[in-house]
């Protein structure tokens, strides 16, 4: 008698029905201490409470956030391995690392939810003598030049450094780190004069006075930091928002995606989380999985010509 073989669809349906039945791994493609890591830990705590299983954050930094992202792209699409997709890993690095990246930012992932957006802020070491962009420009045009740290090559903060150098007419010295945390510590210690960072990871250091906020890359002054002038106020037409979301490997069962999206949206809509995001300088996201997928597709298309025009590379 021939043995019956379960249909693939039936297996996927059973998988979705029993999910979640084991711990979930949430990969952060940056080192601890940056915005991606900070947001991921908030999301992990919220999902753990709502799903009733452990959600463990795992930092896998490297190559403009592509190392951790590739690992997730190659994982089983069973809902146990997720990634904090972001503007670097899924928007800019596909162009910066063209020919070297081994995943498609759109088709190799199941995009679940946009979690938060926020502007870029430039901060300086307290003893650097830099208080304004005019001070930074003067340093850039000096014999020593201006060193600016970022969380790594391929980030929007990296391209801000490139673009600022173009506007100044003098290339700035980009100093990439393996995450915003190590970069910020280097600025605080005086090893690097300035940093181009996402506001949530810089916000606590600004409030504590451990760094000097120099300029906000937002259209208007940020309501949580009204004393920080914008780039435009200081004569430079620069504005940049970063974004962070939740994604998994391509091919995840629709019921799991729908559940993850529903629980994530419920989490980011909670009054205490909205207040926490506002304190950090971020705005909660609100997109369906389909909308988030199309958003990432548009980001890849938008950044590609800008990366090419800037000459930014992973080297």
CATH architecture of the domain 22-118+241-310 equals 3-Layer(aba) Sandwich (3.40)
- Mean pLDDT of the 162-172 span: 93
**How far is it, in rounded angstroms, from Cα 40 to Cα 129?**
34
- Mean pLDDT of the 60-72 span: 92
- Mean pLDDT of the 211-217 span: 97
Task: Give pLDDT, residue 33.
Answer: 85
Does the domain at 119-234 match CATH 3.40.50.2300? Answer given as: no
Domain with CATH 3.40.190.10 in the chain: 119-234
**How far is it, in rounded angstroms, from Cα 48 to Cα 197?**
28
Q: Which of 43-57, 122-136, 157-171 is predicted with the least confidence, judged by mean pLDDT?
A: 157-171
Distance between start and end Cα atoms, the chain: 61
- Mean pLDDT of the 103-124 span: 96
Domain with CATH 3.40.190.150 in the chain: 22-118+241-310
């Amino acid at each position: 008698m021939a043995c019956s073989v379960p249909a693939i669809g039936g297996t996927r349906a059973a998988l979705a029905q029993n999910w979640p039945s084991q711990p979930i791994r949430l990969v952060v493609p940056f080192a601890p201490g940056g915005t991606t890591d900070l947001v991921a830990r908030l999301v992990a705590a919220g999902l753990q409470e709502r799903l009733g299983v452990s959600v463990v954050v795992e930092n896998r930094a490297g190559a403009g956030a592509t190392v951790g992202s590739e690992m997730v792209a190659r994982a089983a699409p069973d809902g146990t391995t997720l990634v904090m997709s972001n503007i670097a890993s899924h928007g800019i690095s596909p162009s910066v690392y063209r020919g070297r990246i081994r995943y498609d930012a759109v088709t190799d992932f199941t995009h679940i939810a946009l979690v938060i957006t926020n502007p870029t802020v430039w901060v300086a070491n307290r003893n650097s003598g830099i208080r304004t962009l005019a001070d930074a420009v003067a340093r850039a045009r000096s014999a020593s030049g201006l060193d600016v740290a970022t969380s790594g090559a391929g980030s929007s903060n990296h391209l801000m450094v490139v673009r600022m150098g173009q506007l100044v007419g003098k290339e700035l010295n980009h100093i990439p780190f393996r995450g915003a945390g190590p970069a910020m510590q280097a600025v605080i210690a005086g090893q690097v004069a300035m940093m181009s960072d996402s506001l949530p990871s810089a916000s606590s250091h600004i409030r504590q006075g451990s760094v000097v906020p120099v300029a906000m890359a937002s259209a208007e002054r940020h309501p949580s930091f009204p004393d920080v002038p914008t780039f435009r106020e200081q004569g430079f037409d620069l504005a940049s928002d970063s974004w962070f979301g939740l994604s998994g490997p391509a091919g995840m069962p629709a019921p799991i995606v729908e559940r993850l999206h529903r629980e994530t949206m419920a989490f980011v809509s909670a009054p205490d989380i909205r207040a926490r995001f506002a304190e950090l300088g971020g705005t909660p996201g609100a997109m369906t999985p389909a909308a988030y997928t199309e958003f990432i597709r548009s980001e890849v298309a938008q950044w590609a010509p800008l990366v090419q025009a800037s000459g930014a590379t992973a080297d």
